[in-house]
Amino acid sequence: MPELKFADLMLTMRSFQESRVLLTALELDLFTAVGDGAPAETVAARLATDVRATASLLNALVAIGALTKQDGVFYNTGETARYLAASSPDCARAGLMHIVHLWETWSTLSECVRTGTASAEPVNEARRPEWTRAFIAMMDQRARGEAGQLARAAGAAGARRMLDVGGGSGVYSIAFARAYSELHADVFDLPPVVELTREYIRTAGLAERIGTRSGDMRTDELGSGYDLLLVSAICHMFGPEENQELFARCYRALAPGGRLLVRDFILDPDQTSPRQAALFALNMLVGTKAGSTYTEAQYAEWLRGAGFSRVERLKPPEINLMVAWRDPD
């Protein structure tokens, strides 16, 4: 990757300003308040905010291209009206609020580098339902486009029972159930998450083929007799020892000859690429006790240590999927 010039470094340093403008607008639900067009005074009244400060925020949003302005009236763009205003069926604000919450943890990065672990205060109980709902909605939005591709690439024909470990909204279980008509899935997650999972499953119309189980993947056994296990976007939350222990529980939950699918960021051997995977290691530093992103060799070592004798990375590598087989008896 080419080195950044000093001017580019300065631009990157200041880019947080535009990010914060958008996040504040999102947090306040400003795009909904703008609606079909409104002056600053009307927007401020709808949001119960200061008129002068609201006008400054609105003008800044026009400057970065998130709103337009004509004769003192502010309007949503086609994109902000579609994705950020509550009146739109495509509104993505619920999931994007997770990025608002990430601002708090990323602000502690300097201290985390000093200490080696997350230093932000844990989410307090009053805010936890809000944080959890936003997180699950964001994960669901991100996964929708690739869930079907992963289900097809996994080649799960013949599997009858699947366990989706830490499955969140159940987006992958839904994709697998649609791709394989004889497959029945269970989504395993924490009790507050499972309450949300059921909503997504009902909306998908798959309640007869996808069930839920409550538990803690860090400590609980995962069941037994499954043909297929999926661990998607989980391992980056854990340290190496936790991941090997999780894979050992996955091994015990599989029927002989069953398969474990592990989908996550996979770093290249020098750990500096892909770019998003390297940056996400810092997201885990500020947000978890020991999480990170890992290389293919690390995953293979943990999986073999858990008892899997055959381990492969599925092609193409952009799918970021490791596959491990439990030997037949």
Annotated catalytic residues are 236
- Cα–Cα distances (Å) from 96 to 54, 139, 186, in that order, read 21, 10, 27
Within 8 A by CB and 6+ apart from 29, the residues are: 47, 86, 93
3-state secondary structure 126-139: CCHHHHHHHHHHHH
Whether 262 contacts 320, CB under 8 Å:
no
Pairing of strands 73-76, 67-70: antiparallel
Element (H, E) at 140: helix 128-154
Q: Which two tokens stand for residue 131?
A: 């944080």
DSSP for 176-199? HHHH-TT-EEEEEE-HHHHHHHHH
DSSP-derived letter for residue 239 is -
Please name which of 191, 189, 190, 158 lies closest in space to residue 172, comparing C-alpha atoms: 189
CA distance 282 to 298: 18
* Positive or negative: CA dihedral 2, 293, 128, 194: positive
Distance CA 22, CA 103 (A): 12
Instruction: Report which of 277, 267, 263 is spatially closest to residue 322, judged by C-alpha positions.
Output: 263
How many whole angstroms separate alpha carbon 86 and alpha carbon 88?
5
